Structure 1
Amino acid sequence: MTADPTTGTRPRNRRQLIVEAAGRVFSERGYHRASMEEIAAGVGITAAALYRHFPNKYALFAECADVMADGLVAALDEVPPGAPSADLLTAVARITVARRASGGVYRWEARYLDRDDRRRLKAKFARLVGRVEEAVRREFPLPEERLRAVAALGAIGSITMHHTSIAGRRAENLLSDAALRVAATDLAAAPVGARPVESPAQPVPRTRRAEILAAAIPLFARDGFANVTNGQIARAVGLAPSALYRHYPGKVDILSAACLQAAGLLAQGVERNLDEVAEPYEAVVALAATYVAYSFEHTALNSVAEAEVAGLPDDLRRPLVLAQREHIAVWEQQLRLARPELDPRQARVLVHAGFGVVVEAGRQLRWRDSPDHRDAVTALVVGALGL
């Protein structure tokens, strides 16, 4: 009897392997820069073979988003009703860490889903949030339980947005503990040592180049860099599209300038608000308040810098990566002085957890800026850091 030549060479779970590989590529490179050829190579098949499973890149992208959300919902479904918040958050942390490499698909890239797919994904996450919110309300009967639940999930989801090397079990424990502290945070109690901070104001555009940049940022934030045309940017400043090239070589250079502006404003805020702060605990609180103020003050700019940096060519991305590392290093140093038991990797993971809290809490508050909202989100960040 002659054996089928494909037996043993085509894994039964090939579709799953494709989705896993695609999730990694979409998360790392962004939806528009990812190619079917690169995804196929990650599975060890040809692009033609890939198209036998998925008719196009969008169909594969949509399935990646669904798989991540379905995994989180399924993880919570296994936790008995009435279980404590710690059990729910541990379950979420376990699946999020396990699928860390592909988690960026829903954090930023899900905006490229069409309306129906985005609505379906939103419903799945609403179910996830609702389950956590119910446990938080029962266990920690304080105001704003939904905000605290969303922020707790943001702390866990942050692991998908950076590359700090840490063992899976250590990451799970660190993130679930941070999330539990966020869930239990009393938003009415300001962190000890908190003081007013200043956020650098948005620069006033005084040149045509600055006007172009100021017009492009909200367009990139609303529609995504890849979906914005030079014509849209030009019309926003009353120019012909060809006139843009007198100020920027290409659209990607406008994006690079936006990301550099974001990094510069944040660095200015840190420098200004850490001046004359000597005690590590107070320094970390000041860093948290500064990042929160910056995020509320420059919401569109920050979302562009966070979501689109992966789409920059290596030479334009390099200075931004260095600026981010420098910013993280300041947080890490102060947090380890305040919590000497943390090693560098643990500190970096917690710092990113704080950033995740800001993103998700800010979204929940629809970035409506007020002193109360800033104070509440700062308290959540301090809770995530374990101070």
Structure 2
Amino acid sequence: MTSEQQMAATRPRNRRQLIVEAAGRLFSARGYHAASMEEIAAAVGITAAALYRHFPNKYALFSECAHAMVDGLVATLDELPPEADTAELLTALVRITVKRRAEGGVYRWEARYLNREDRRLLRAKFARVVGRVTEAARREFPGERAELRVVAALGAIGSITMHRTSIAQRRAEELLSTCALRLVAAPVPEPPPGGERAVRLPALPVARSRRAEILAAAVPLFARDGFANVTNGQIAEAVGLAPSALYRHYPGKVDILTAACLQAAGLLAQAVDQNLEGTAGPHEAVAALAATYVAYSFEHTALTSVAEAEFVGLPADAQRPLTLAQREHIAVWEEQLRLARPELDPRQARVLVHAGFGVVVEAGRSMRWRDTPEHRATVTGLVVRALGL
């Protein structure tokens, strides 16, 4: 037997699937542009040349990774009988999402780097998932806005792909299944007590310096096109500068991104401090936290999306203070939620807090982030319900 025949005999039949899974993990962890074909090949245990025999370029692999996650959701539901109830559907979606947790970021954030046709196909596939669950929900749980309730539940489920809280697979599945069904099974809630409080948000600083003007101009560009697709020339043009003049204010484009992420973290921390003041007890504190996070997300949509979506592309030294700020923010939620629900342990509380964030992302997207008091109150109520209060 020749060496080529030996290699063919030992080559796993599911190598393409192994490649897609490894690539999904790397794209989720490092971002599309930062992850290289060489890294992906090494993760699978093959050469880059062998990888290119399966995929002609990185985009082709990236596209298949993005579709694989949603195709898995569609296939999971297709395997269930037409009469399957809502709980069965949600449990099945939770199970596959938790199983493929490390790959989920590809669909959640990195998919903005897909071309228009791929994005259209992904939206259509996701709509099939929403439609199937909504049909069951309307059958079992009559009431208005069933589709919004389902979208919120899917946001809670998908949230497990966006953080690294260590929790046993079975416990995560039970927690998220209960959370998702709780969101779907009842009408869209009325505004909770904390949601009736006037939420105070710190305003974006007035761009009085050229540095501040550059930051203000760059954020919507990053949000619309993705950090990697925006050029220094586009940013400079937006503020009426020559591209070379940017370097007098920021050493590089990544420094503008770092400044945007730090600004987002600072605004959120200020908002939490302001709106927790004077709350009476943990239930009201959690409601106030939910109302604050929702208001912040609707008010600063572009800044929030940039900070969350582009974080993985920052250098390690820039990530550290942001990671610390995020942990401090989560710790505030965790403390108040465990006071309100003493049966939760710290990991369960963190998973539910992230589920609440997922509700905001998907419900906000479904509302196209149109900022109205009604939308804010509705999403706040859904977050509080996701937390089990």
TM-score tier (shorter): over 0.9
Which residue does the alignment assign to 1:300?
302
SS of residue paired to 2:83: coil
Q: Which residue number in structure 1 is paired with residue 30 of structure 2?
A: 29
Number of the residue aligned with 2:89: 88
Judged with a 3 Å threshold, the aligned counterparts in structure 2 of structure 1 residues 240 and 185 are, in CA distance, closer, same or farther, namely: farther
State the shift of 1:188 in Å: 4.8
Given candidates 269, 272, 290, the residue that maps to 2:271 is 269
- Structure 1: which 4+ aligned runs deviate by more than 3 Å? 1-4
Give me the TM-score of the superposition, normalised by structure 2. 0.97
Residue number in structure 1 paired with 2:359: 357
Query: Which residue of structure 2 lines up, in the alignment, with residue 333 of structure 1?
Result: 335
Q: Distance in 2 between matches of 1:223 and 1:117?
A: 15
Letter in structure 2 aligned against 1:156: I
- Contact 1:24–1:101 (CA under 8 A) maintained in structure 2: yes
Pairing of 1:49-88 with structure 2 (within 5 A):
49-88=50-89
Q: Is the contact made by 2:190 and 2:377 (CA closer than 8 Å) also made in structure 1?
A: no
Count of aligned pairs between the two proteins: 387
Q: Does 1:136 align with 2:137?
A: yes
Separation in structure 2 between the aligned mates of residue 67 and residue 278 of structure 1, nearest angstrom: 46
User: Quick one: which amino acid aligns to residue 181 of structure 2?
Assistant: L
> In structure 2, what is the equivalent of residue 44 of structure 1?
45
Instruction: Give the aligned partner of residue 237 of structure 1.
Output: 239
Letter in 1 for 2:177: S
Q: Does the residue aligned with 1:220 lie in a helix, a strand or coil?
A: helix
CA distance change for structure 1 residues 31 and 279 in 2, over 3 Å: closer, same or farther? same
1:180 aligns with 181
Deviation at 1:305, TM superposition (A): 0.3
User: Matches of 1:41 and 1:193 in 2, distance apart?
Assistant: 50
Aligned to 1:158: 159
CA separation in 2, counterparts of 1:78 and 1:381? Answer: 30
Give the distance between the partners of 1:299 and 1:268, measured in 2 at CA: 17
Q: In 1, Cα distance between the equivalents of 2:83 and 2:183?
A: 19
1:167 aligns with 2:159: no
Deviation at 1:142, TM superposition (A): 1.8
SS in 2 for 1:6: helix
Contiguous gaps of at least 5 residues in structure 1: none
Question: Which deviates more from structure 2 when the two are superposed, residues 6-15 or residues 160-169?
Answer: 6-15
The 8 Å contact of residues 213 and 258 in structure 1, kept in 2 or not, is answered as yes
For 1:185 and 1:39, the matched residues in 2 are separated by: 44
Identity over aligned pairs, percent: 78
Q: For the residues of structure 1 that align with 2:2 and 2:158, how far apart are their CA atoms?
A: 50
Using the alignment, how far apart are the partners of 1:167 and 1:152 within structure 2? 21
| Native 8 Å contact 1:185 1:379 kept in 2 | no
User: CA separation in 2, counterparts of 1:164 and 1:262?
Assistant: 22
- Cα deviations across residues 308-362 of structure 1 (Å, max 9, x unaligned)? 0000000011110110000000000110110000011100000000000000000
Higher mean C-alpha deviation, range 23-32 or range 5-14:
5-14
Match of 1:318 in 2: 320
Q: SS of the counterpart of 1:5?
A: helix
Find the counterpart in structure 1 of residue 17 from structure 2: 16
Q: Write the distance in 2 (CA, Å) between the matches of 1:70 and 1:364.
A: 21
Contact 2:194 2:291 in 1 (8 A): no
Two-structure CA RMSD over aligned residues (Å): 1.3
TM-superposition CA deviations, 1:4-37 (whole Å, max 9, x none): 4225531111111100000000001111111000
Alignment correspondent of 1:198: 200
CA contact (8 A) 2:76 2:93 kept: yes
What secondary structure sits across from 2:7 in the alignment? coil
Tell me how far 1:202 sits from its aligned partner. 2.1
**Letter of the 1:56 counterpart:** N
C-alpha separation between the residues in 1 aligned to 2:87 and 2:6?
Answer: 50
Specify which of 329, 334, 345 is matched with residue 347 of structure 2: 345
Tell me what 1:100 maps to.
101
Q: Distance in 2 between matches of 1:2 and 1:299?
A: 59
| Bigger shift: residues 82-91 or 292-301 | 82-91
Separation (CA, whole Å) in 2 of partners of 1:122 and 1:157: 15
